[in-house]
Structure 1
Amino acid sequence: CEWLQATSRKNIFQVNDLPGAFLPAEAYKSKASGVLACTISRELGEYILFFKPELITTVKWAGNPNKPVEVDEKGAAKLSPRRSFEVWAQEVEGTSEKWTHAELNAVFKLREDVFQFINLKSNEIRKLNEKLKEAYDELDTFSFTISHDLKTPIASITNYAEILLEDAPALDDQSKHFLHRIINSADKMNRLIKEVLGYSKVSRQQLSRRRIEMLPLIEEISTELIAAYKPANLQFKTGEMPDITGDKIMISQVFSNLLGNAIKYSSKSNPSTVTIEGRAEPDNIVYRIADNGIGIEMEYGSHIFELFKRMDNVKDYEGSGVGLAIVKRIMEKHNARIWYESEKGNGTVFYLSFPKDNNELPV
């Protein structure tokens, strides 16, 4: 395809002596001595190719066409007359039958049909994308509105339950227990609403790209998480911390969520080990966050990044199933990638790959 791109700018390119025009074709001349190329996209190197096999022919000459010119004793060049009327025969290899007008017309017609089909499918995909975007925006608006409207009644439930606890000392222990459960459930619902709102806000927020100094950011995040979870036997290990570019608030949310999960789900290991390190590649900065916790069954695949999706082995751990969905959405917004490797019972490793671009941006 590179040879075709450099050789011809035509929509239809034909040759019946390919080995003579493209030397590597000598290796397969028996099957492809002639080529007819129909251009679909020159920029992308997309062609439809037709081949003709080698057709060895015999060319008859009145004399030897390769006979050298003779030089007489005076240094003059001359051609001596033939001494025989014998026909000179020569075998010609590396050529095929010539492409006919019917074949060329058929390929022109095929090209038009392909383009018509591509345009038809492109329009269908464009319309589907527009409908998908509308549905996506409507779902986002619905989630944001419902979550926002639920905050007030949830707050009222919590307030009335606390008032009953404070102003009704005659309540028996069972009634107080029920009221505490109401308050705890309302608090849990409030946290869930807050996370759903956060998930909806990600797509609405504009990126404020800056160069992010990762070492102080990870130090700040780890300090806050350790203070919040108070792990008894945590070994928190760090490696290289190359800077990345992105929205600092969103990137902080990504690393806070993943490091928080690593600390939480490895808390029952002895010792609990969490490691974060980054490396610079030619086009990307890749971070690795590993723990020795409960792990994830790989059969779940990308489902772990779906909203409200929680694995069967995390029922004993508090969570909403929103965090990884937010992480995934933030990474996509940054044109970055996230994937993981895990084995149930043997820990999990998350990988985050950020494009190495805009390094000239200020901190």
Structure 2
Amino acid sequence: MVEETSEFKVLLVDDRDENLFALETILKDENYHLVKANSGKQALAYLLKDLDFHLIIMDVLMPGMNGFETAALIYEREKLKNIPIIFLTAMDIEGNIYKGYKAGAVDYISKPIIAELLKVKVRAFVELSEKNRQLVRQEKMLRAANRKLEWEITERKLSEAKIKALNEDLAKKLEQLQSLDSFNYSISHDLMSPLNSITGLAGLLQTMYPEKFDDEVLEIVNHIMGSVDRMSNLIKDLLSFSRQANAEISKVDVSMRALVDDVMEEVSKTMPVTNVEIVVHELPNAYCDNSMLKQVWINLVSNAIKYSQKTPVPKVEIGGKHENGDLIYFVKDNGAGFNMAHYNKLFSIFQRLHSESEFNGTGIGLAVVKRIIERHDGRIWAQSEVGKGSEFYFTLKAKENLLE
């Protein structure tokens, strides 16, 4: 039923004012917004300005343009063809019914008008018109939703195609990387054999014919031994870097304090640490690959000691803490530091921020560290200032977060 609190527009069309007044009197209590037109032409003018009519009640016999002609012009317009029309006529309905329906009428009321019949029919057609509008609105919404769904499906298919292409490209690059790492490992391994031979032969010369070695020859042999040693270290570091690409991670509960103590003992065998103040703060335990993290600590701690040894009072600090579900570890020194303008090179392979004459090294250690930390789903970063030391940080996921 039509809601009493709603207003629905009804267009009344008749060339006689008394007939319009009669219609208005019958319908005035039905809560309609009644608009009156004295001719078919005036009715068309109203309709072209305002499409929001629920019903048209129109007299058939009007001068100039009758009701049938007016209806035909109304329904020529796509936006008006859904407005129902009730014809009022004193003519022979049976004789004109075909002509009226062809013009677009939905019903007839004969004159003289029966008030209750008019009210009932107007109410029924207004309600029908409103339901039809609701259906049209729902259809538009459904069409819009369908277009959106089609667009989303198309976008999803495009995204899936892009993801598939990216995955294929990633797989190819990974295969190439693994192939390159295998190649590096093979080449590095094969290079160690002749280097070991050179070292052995040079040492043999020194021991077998010491009387034939003057100072100049001895200096040349020492240069050879030094170059071989640097090459050997470079190959060892390159082998270590290559192994990290294919080595499986075996995570266990690790006491970081015990691991760092072990690292300090190992580092002390290869470089002087007696003149360096080493402070070890709290180190929370971690769930990680023990041997891989040992490499991380060896690289970071030995670097901190190496780059701070030229400082009058060298100091290295090691520690860690829990923060926002992560474990954050650090190694700090008060040594040479580096220029942060070159930070983008810091963790790249074969990149060094100090010359060989200042500090020896191969430029691979930090690249190895970065690869190990990233394989543990962590991250590594550094802060430094020239002449004021460096601070290196890396994160590992806390065990409780890994098991969620």
Does the TM-score normalized on the shorter chain lie above 0.5?
A: yes
The residue type equivalent to 1:129 in the other structure is L
> How far off is 1:283 after superposition?
1.5
The residue type equivalent to 2:262 in the other structure is E
Residues of 1 paired with 2:382 and 2:214: CA distance?
A: 50
- SS class of match (2:150): helix
Q: CA deviation digits over 1:260-316, x for unaligned, max 9?
A: 111111111121111111112342111121111111222333421111111146641
* 1:244 equivalent in structure 2: 286
Residues of 1 paired with 2:299 and 2:198: CA distance?
A: 29
**Larger helix percent:** 2
Quote the sequence identity (%): 31
More divergent stretch after superposition (161-170 vs 285-294): 161-170
Q: CA deviation digits over 1:298-340, x for unaligned, max 9?
A: 2333421111111146641111111111111111221222111
* 2:392 equivalent in structure 1: 350
The residue type equivalent to 2:368 in the other structure is I
Residues of 1 paired with 2:238 and 2:282: CA distance?
A: 33
* 1:131 equivalent in structure 2: 172
* 1:50 equivalent in structure 2: none
Query: Does the CA contact (< 8 Å) of 1:274 and 1:289 recur in 2?
Result: yes
**Partner of residue 120 from structure 1, selected from 143, 161, 179:** 161
- SS class of match (1:229): coil
- SS class of match (1:199): helix
Residues of 2 paired with 1:249 and 1:312: CA distance?
A: 28
Residues of 1 paired with 2:312 and 2:32: CA distance?
A: 92
Q: Residues 286 and 63 from structure 1, CA distance in 2 versus in 1: closer, same or farther, beyond 3 angstroms?
A: closer
The residue type equivalent to 1:265 in the other structure is Y
* 2:87 equivalent in structure 1: none
Query: Does the CA contact (< 8 Å) of 2:308 and 2:334 recur in 1?
Result: yes
Q: Aligned-residue CA RMSD in angstroms?
A: 2.6
- SS class of match (2:212): coil
Residue 159 (str. 1) matches residue 193 (str. 2): no
**Where does 1:1-363 land on structure 2 (aligned, <5 Å)?**
62-63=4-5, 85=29, 87=31, 100-168=141-209, 169-231=211-273, 233-312=275-354, 315-357=357-399
Query: Does the CA contact (< 8 Å) of 2:178 and 2:246 recur in 1?
Result: no
Unaligned runs of 5+ in 1: 1-59, 66-83, 90-96
Query: Does the CA contact (< 8 Å) of 2:252 and 2:287 recur in 1?
Result: yes
More divergent stretch after superposition (192-201 vs 218-227): 218-227
More divergent stretch after superposition (169-178 vs 235-244): 169-178
> How far off is 1:61 after superposition?
5.9
The residue type equivalent to 1:115 in the other structure is R
Query: Does the CA contact (< 8 Å) of 2:310 and 2:335 recur in 1?
Result: yes
Residues of 2 paired with 1:207 and 1:317: CA distance?
A: 32
Residues of 1 paired with 2:384 and 2:32: CA distance?
A: 75
* 1:18 equivalent in structure 2: none
Q: Residues 125 and 360 from structure 1, CA distance in 2 versus in 1: closer, same or farther, beyond 3 angstroms?
A: closer
> How far off is 1:359 after superposition?
9.3
The residue type equivalent to 1:240 in the other structure is E
TM-score (norm 2): 0.63
Using CA pairs under 8 Å that are at least 6 residues apart, name the structure with larger relative contact order, 1 or 2: 1
Q: CA deviation digits over 1:36-85, x for unaligned, max 9?
A: xxxxxxxxxxxxxxxxxxxxxxxx964599xxxxxxxxxxxxxxxxxx94
Aligned residues between the structures: 277
